[in-house]
Amino acid sequence: MNTKNYKKNIAGQLAQTFIEHPLTLMLSIFILVMGYVTLQISPREANPQIVVAGGAVIVAYPGVKASEIQKVIVEPLARRLREVQGVEDIYGYAQDNVAILNVKFFLGQERDEANFRLYNSVLRNVDVLPKGIMQPIVKTMDIDTDIAIASIAFYPKNSSLSMTELHNKVSKIQTKINRIENVAITDLIGERKEQYNIEVNLQKLTGYHLSLGQLLKSIEGLTAKIPDIKGRTAEEKIVIFGVDKAIQNINDINKLIVAIYGGSAIYMEDIATVTKSDDIQNMKSATLVFAENGLANEIPQTTISITKKQGANVVEVNKDIFALMDSLKEELESENIGFVITRDDGYTANHSVNELVTHIVISVIIIGILLIVTLGYKEAFIVTLTVPMIISLTLFAGYMLGQSINKISLFALLLSLGLLVDSAIIVIENIHRHFHDHDAGNKTVKEIAVAATNEVGNPTNLATIAIIMTFLTMFLVGGTVGQYIRPIAVFAPIAMFASLIVAYIFTPYLVNKLMTKEE
């Protein structure tokens, strides 16, 4: 092989430039640090985000039958909403008293804009709706603030703590959780609210010759509120006085005079059972079973569900939430409140990310062993060393492109791993082979390394571009699946490109530093 005068391709030139450049080492360390930092600060997710735009328009029309609702609300509104740009399908549901229209946008519609168009169209078309409807409600589907990233179930540890007391305590915790950065919405499920219940006995009511309407009026009058009243003294000083709240405890209701019957007062307690308990009209409830308590023991509970803001790192947010819960543990313990974490997307995301990172490390080690066996330990060392650099470059590029670290992006890395080392293997194998050439004696390690890199440069370039192109075609896949596998289309080509650069710059450099011809 003529090594003195030959035209070098890109590979050869890169090898030539960096093989003894003092900055090469610095550059490699910088890349590694950058990759590590990216791995730490990138948002982690279990699955890549899929943007779905859509929403529900809910129109209540009390007292109207489904078939009428279909005609006067669903059909006219659906007709009008078809005008909204980007709408794919409109599903209408007419029930007694209420109409629900589910509007689905085509994939890839920008969510905020789609939501705005939907709101706009509903507001503009209120005039097609009949009189007497309630204000239409537009509930847009929001992948961030609708989907719980964590949920915690609180339960009373013994019967001395009532569900309403639990609710009061839990709502305080709810406020605390809401203070955490990047927490979007917290919601209570299965909560029982405190309430005075006046359960009227119809027989007694009739007995006293009373009607429900009278009861209603007597209580309404009592609870009517007026603001504090300012009076003046002769010296123009202010005197403040206010009317006391009439109902402060259960007795105030029990002793309420409802009517005078036959000269004697009739109290509320005479005709009704008054209790301060929970919202009896609420048919929703939540219960919990958990292994430590025996799976057959169903106990009442209240769940807090928590969502995060868009772009926030679920792992970080959940860490903060559970750290808060840890700090509250003792306090809750003393108040007889127990809790169970029933959902932790942060764990799922972190766990899958860490598991895949481990897989990547194992794969690198296996490939390293393979290379030790086949090429020798120095070559193996060099190839193995290129992998973290490629991954670092890729992660950093992904971060710059706004990609989170998720299962699919790591799979893309794992998938490319076999390919990543290829360029390095081919370069180093060629260098290795040329060391054993019969004319190797006349050349320096540097010359051989550059020439050998140059020799396989063109086919390796072309092949890598071919692989990059095959991965890029994955951008053609549409639909939600297309969005789902998008990280592969983004990360694999970047990784391949990075592998080329690393193979041409660092492999010859390391060869020059570490290897001698005798080996």
Residue 507 exposure: Cα atoms within 13 Å on the Cβ side: 38
DSSP 387: H
Q: How far is the CB of 121 from another protein (least distance, A)?
A: 15
CB-nearer residue toward another protein: 42 or 174: 174
Residue nearer to another protein on the CB measure, 324 or 370: 370
Residue among 24 and 318 whose Cβ is closer to another protein:
318
In the complex, minimum distance from the CB of residue 479 to another protein, in angstroms, rounded to a whole number:
6
Query: What sign has the CA pseudo-torsion 406, 464, 387, 35?
Result: negative
Q: How far is the CB of 303 from another protein (least distance, A)?
A: 6
Question: Cβ of residue 63: shortest distance to another protein, in angstroms?
Answer: 9
Q: Which is nearer to another protein, 27 or 414 (CB)?
A: 414
54 vs 89, 111, 241, CA distance in Å? 10, 8, 54
CB of 277 to another protein, least distance (A): 10
**In the complex, what is the shortest distance from the CB of residue 56 to another protein, in angstroms, rounded to a whole number?**
6
Q: Quote the least distance from Cβ 25 to another protein, whole Å.
A: 26
How many CA within 13 A on the CB side of residue 137?
Answer: 10
In the bound complex, what is the minimum distance in angstroms from residue 439's beta carbon to another protein?
13
Is the CB of 213 or the CB of 231 nearer to another protein? Answer: 213
Question: Within 13 A of 432's CA, how many CA atoms are on the CB side?
Answer: 19
The distance of Cα 157 from the centroid of its chain, to the nearest Å, equals 31
- Check if the beta carbon of residue 98 is closer than 8 Å to that of residue 58: yes
- The DSSP H or E segment spanning 152 is strand 150-156
463-497 burial, b for 16+ CB within 10 Å, e for fewer? bbeebbeebeebeeeeeeebbbbbbbbbbbbbbbb
For another protein, the closer of residues 220 and 236 by Cβ is 220
Backbone angles phi, psi at 249, to 5 degrees: -150, 180
Comparing CB distances to another protein, the nearer of 24 and 64 is: 64
- What pairing do the DSSP bridges indicate for beta strands 302-308 and 183-189? antiparallel
φ, ψ (nearest 5 deg) of residue 255: -90, 10
Is the Cβ of residue 129 or residue 367 nearer to another protein in the bound state? 367
